[in-house]
């Protein structure tokens, strides 16, 4: 059970979008952007409020890569591993990030909840390959050196 404030927030978001079944995705998107993840309890709660089967809501939430039931870090780094980025050595970028942030394929988020590292299949910016995003900010033509500088800068901003 989450704190009551979570449910009040969900109610607020639901009332913004209307209590209709088609509003499920925008509602859970808003919840996710509010908490940086989609708390499982809230998905069940929203499903109930909208009159959707819990299993159906879970089906929707797991279909889209974007939704996460795990809490994410403050900075979500998405490394593109689409064809264009891959041939321009996005793997090296990813490896560098794993090393810098002490993460792995199984561990996506740093202990201090500062960074979450994900790969995506294509960001649609192949001309800028290899590309990554930090939250909504795009970083083009990345190299392992630029990655180190970027992480150092973000860490510095936090102090």
> Least distance from C-beta 53 to another protein, angstroms?
3
**Residue 34 annotated as lining a ligand binding site:** no
> Least distance from C-beta 78 to another protein, angstroms?
18
In 11-111, where do the E strands start and end?
75-80
Binding site for another protein (CB under 8 A): 40, 44, 53-59, 62-63
What is the C-alpha to C-alpha distance for residues 97 and 48, in angstroms, rounded to an integer?
40
> Least distance from C-beta 10 to another protein, angstroms?
17
What is the C-alpha to C-alpha distance for residues 47 and 56, in angstroms, rounded to an integer?
8
- C-alpha dist (Å) from residue 104 to 13, 66, 72, 100, 115: 34, 19, 15, 11, 12
Closer to another protein at the Cβ: 38 or 147?
A: 38
Closer to another protein at the Cβ: 71 or 138?
A: 71
Closer to another protein at the Cβ: 63 or 137?
A: 63
- Pick the closest to residue 147 from 121, 125, 106, 115 (CA basis): 115
Q: Which residues are annotated as a binding site for [2Fe-2S] cluster?
A: 80, 85, 122, 126
């Amino acid at each position: 059970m989450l704190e009551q404030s979570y449910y009040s927030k969900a109610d607020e978001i639901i009332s913004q979008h209307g209590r209709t079944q088609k509003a499920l995705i925008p509602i859970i998107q808003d919840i996710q952007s509010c908490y940086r993840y989609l708390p499982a309890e809230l998905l069940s709660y929203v499903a109930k409020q909208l009159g959707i089967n819990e299993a159906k809501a879970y089906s929707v939430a797991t279909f889209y890569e974007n939704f996460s039931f795990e809490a994410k870090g403050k900075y979500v780094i998405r490394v593109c591993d689409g064809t264009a980025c891959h041939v321009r050595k996005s793997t090296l970028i990813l490896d560098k990030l794993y090393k810098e942030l002490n993460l792995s394929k199984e561990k996506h988020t740093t202990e201090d909840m500062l960074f979450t590292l994900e790969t995506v299949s294509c960001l649609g910016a192949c001309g800028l390959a290899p590309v990554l995003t930090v939250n909504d900010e795009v970083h083009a033509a990345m190299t392992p050196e630029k990655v180190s500088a970027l992480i150092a800068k973000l860490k510095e901003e936090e102090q």
